[in-house]
Chain A
Amino acid sequence: MHDSHKFKIPIGPQHPALKEPESFSVALKGEKILGVDIRLGYNHRGIEKACEERTFLQDVYLVERVCGICSHSHSTCFVQAVEEIAGLEIPSRAKYLRTLIAELERVHSHLLWLGVAGHEIGFDTLLMYTWRDREIVMDILAQFTGNRVNYGMNTIGGVRRDIDVSQVKDALKAVDTLQERTKYYIEIATSEVTIIKRLSGVGVLSYEDALRLDAVGPTARASGVKRDVRKDDPYAAYADVSFDVITDNHSDVYGRTVVRLKELLESFKIIRQVLENLPAGPIAIKAPRKIPAGEAISRYEAPRGEDVHFVKSNGGEKPERVKIRAPTLANVQAVKHMLKDRFLADMPIVIAAIDPCFSCTDRSIEISYLDDARKKEVLTWPELHAYSIDWHRKRGIDFSSLNKKLKEGFKTS
């Protein structure tokens, strides 16, 4: 350490700056970053392989669990591909409802991001404020779908839950509040001196580099790349609503913040249009159990950027192959470039600025011993219970007599 004046510090796999395990090994000279070594894959759960072993309908719920924040993105992207293979034309009310949940999800994701970004630069007040306001949209999502995350809204052929008039009224009111707050945050982000000092000029990704490194979503749009799947390759009801693709020419973390904040306003615009023009009719059509042979690629503009699903069916109940490319995987490669010659202090915000979601990024490999009776790795709840009692008994802790006494006590009293 003394000889070379250069040392490596590990940011991750476990580190307060990262909300999920990923490893960034940073070579430092003083406070300056010489190079970053990124190692991904700590969240690999084997979802792509697991999809091949389940039916199409089960997979909808499985891919929803690829990510906690953009769960609707993955499930919509997946069902779109399946519907394309099966040749299903879903009712327009279902399309509108999908769009509605998608935009509410974007709102909650961007607000979450703003809070995290505030925390990364040591501005906890921003974190507390945005996460307080995020509760408003979470409540609306819970009202519409029954869940705060992993909404379970999609099914092959449409959506599963309808919404009624009173819910629409509540949502419109919430959107008004959120819009007002968002405008306040835009004002703060563009006028507070310490925020600007910490964000501008940090993590620069030029227009050319954004193209070369295949950046997607707000990361690319902040570098002036006008690329938004909602506009370029419209899905759900996006062809029917009017909104602008927000771009910015700052190319730095500040630009990414502005893009996300302004995108929030566009989302409110879309939500209002959807709620006001919600077509009547059924919310789903019946889908066959067996999906005809074929393949389709589906794209979706998740809050973090373009999400890509490729599905291939061989005519059975289970897909032949499901390929998922989450937006973070496309963006993470730009991080290395953004960090070069920056300060260590910039590292957390630069990583945070792509809004990384590593559990999205890592998916495959599932090890299940379900068929193997000898060595079951997946236990049912009673089995797990029995196992834990046994484990403790082996170590001299036995509650069985106490249990018996307790039960007898209940009976007598």
Chain B
Amino acid sequence: MTQEEIIVNDLKEKFANIAASIIIQRPRRIFLEVSQAQFLEVFDYCVKKIGFPHLCTITGLDEIEKFILIYHLAQDNGNILNIKTSVSKENPVLKTIINYYAGAEIYERELMDLFGMKVEGLPEGNRYPLPDDWPKGQFPLRKDWDPKSLENK
């Protein structure tokens, strides 16, 4: 059994309800999908029990009806676990993971600025990456964002 299969079987055993979404896309690439409610539980298990010492980044996606977040976790042997979760567009609130990875702070701030998500538990700090005088309510990486809306501010 390859390393990826060991991880996948472990996860499938532990979280039977999401077993269908856990796939090995190619060697060293594992994808899984989990609801926002169950996210922290799965995340905690992956980080603490299976052990992923490195967070590559967090990707935000605008899927029109909802936002998708992908947490890319890496092991030192090259395995990447991509945990997908989603938040609703009306109330895009997610929980911070800086307790797991202190370096995640800047990735979460990026989500706040570019998608307009709210991150619970993130301390006050400088915004990133937009300028301080960026108009409120403009989130450039949303699919419905129109750069022209900046003209008549």
Contact = CB atoms under 8 A, between A and B. Distances in A.
A374 to B, nearest CB: 10
Contacts of B102: 212-214, 333
A226 B106 CA distance: 24
A325 interface: yes
Nearest to A235: B78
Interface in B124-140: 126-131, 140
B71 to A, nearest CB: 11
Nearest to B53: A211
A233 B56 contact: no
A44 interface: yes
Given A211-B53, A212-B103, A297-B82, A369 B148 contact: yes
A49 interface: yes
A321 B128 contact: no
Interface string B38-67: 000000000000000111110111100000
B76 A325 contact: no
Contacts of B26: 84
A172 interface: no
Given A212-B102, A297-B29, A310-B72, A364 B53 contact: no
Interface SS, B side? mixed
A170 interface: no
Contacts of A98: none
B15 interface: no
28 contacts: A37-B126, A44-B129, A46-B140, A49-B141, A212-B101, A213-B103, A214-B104, A232-B77, A234-B78, A297-B56, A299-B74, A299-B80, A308-B72, A310-B59, A310-B70, A323-B59, A329-B107, A330-B57, A330-B103, A333-B103, A364-B129, A364-B140, A366-B147, A367-B147, A368-B147, A369-B148, A369-B151, A372-B148
